[in-house]
Amino acid sequence: MSPDTAVAAAPAAVEVFAEEPRRGRVRTFLRRHPSIVLGGAILALMVAIAILAPYLWTTDPQALAPRLRVRPPSAEFWFGTDMLGRDIYSRVLYGTRVSLIVGFSVALLASLAGLAIGLISGFIRLADGIIMRVMDGLMSIPPILLAIALMAATRGSVENVIIAITIAEIPRVSRLVRGVVLSLREQPYVEAAIAAGTTTPRIIIRHILPNTLAPLTVQATYICASAMITEAILSFIGAGTPPIIPSWGNIMAEGRALWQVAPYIVFFPAVFLSLTVLSVNLLGDGLRDALDPRMAKRV
């Protein structure tokens, strides 16, 4: 090999050797945190089902066929039909969209609102007393009851369900962020920044905010799972999404009257709901273990 050829091949060799440790770190991370792999795989499957629902051999979830009502699972109707002859398979797959939209939206909105409230309350002492008393008042009401009360004052829709559940979840996020901020505020580097005359917004953005993202991310996964369950409960009791929208809670509510005759109407949406909530919880547990330094040392 000529010197010129060796020099040209050197950068490629360096890239290969640099890539190997990176791949090894990824494999080690996934091997140490199998719950992230399992939860992420199931959740990715549910997201794929929600996106590709029209192409997965489904029909119109609202198509009525009274002649085919309450048909058991078969080659023609994989999950059977309900009391109006609608295909349960199609309704369950389209219901995945509603649950994921509600779960992800509530997790995002509650996290952003709770983060802002927690940062202000934890770092600005004058606002802490007022804000936390309001949060305590909201936390004194069980989230499901607060969501039902908020839905009773509005009309049933996916957007209103998201807003109602978000309001019920914000106090818990703000409490979490406030606790983290209170501990960070006493750290030497924050006190040094204050002594140096650094403005409060700069201290929050540069020193406080980055350290709240890890616990906030873990909390967001649990909020997502809780929101999906709450949406199903609201729809099941008739206080959530309108019956015309195929959601897992609506499907189970319609099938409860036929439980002894056609239990599959309730069974299939319940299985999908359980798997989705389980995947999000597994992902949250894995992220907690991965982002918590104490858990990382044990591993």
CB atoms within 10 A of CB 89: 20
Q: According to the model, what pLDDT value does residue 280 have? A: 95
**Can you read off the two tokens belonging to residue 38?**
């399992």
Q: Of 15, 4, 40, whose CA–CA distance to 290 is shortest?
A: 40
Q: Which amino acid is at 139?
A: M
**pTM, two decimal places:** 0.86
CA distance 197 to 45: 51
The answer to whether the CB of 151 falls within 8 A of the CB of 231 is: no
Task: Looking at 140-263, list the stretches that DSSP marks H as alpha helix, in order from N- to C-terminal side.
Answer: 143-152, 158-185, 188-195, 200-203, 209-236, 248-255
CA distance 21 to 25: 6
Instruction: At 198, give phi and psi (nearest 5°).
Output: -65, 140
| Matching residue, tokens 């048909």 | 71
CA distance 292 to 28: 17
Q: According to the model, what pLDDT value does residue 98 have? A: 95
Q: According to the model, what pLDDT value does residue 56 have? A: 94
Sort 22 into a burial class: Cβ within 10 Å, 0-12 / 13-18 / 19+. Answer: exposed
Q: According to the model, what pLDDT value does residue 191 have? A: 82
Q: According to the model, what pLDDT value does residue 3 have? A: 46
Domains of the chain from N-terminus onward:
59-273 (1.10.3720.10)
Q: Of 247, 287, 290, 292, whose CA–CA distance to 107 is shortest?
A: 287
pLDDT tens track of the chain, all 299 residues? Answer: 454 544 444 454 444 444 556 666 667 766 777 888 999 999 999 999 999 999 999 999 998 988 999 999 999 999 999 999 999 999 999 999 999 999 999 999 999 999 999 998 988 888 888 899 999 888 888 888 999 999 988 888 899 999 999 999 999 999 999 998 888 888 888 888 878 887 878 888 888 888 888 899 999 999 999 999 999 999 999 888 888 889 999 999 999 988 989 999 999 999 999 999 999 999 998 888 887 655 544 44
Q: Which residues pair with 66 in a beta bridge?
A: none
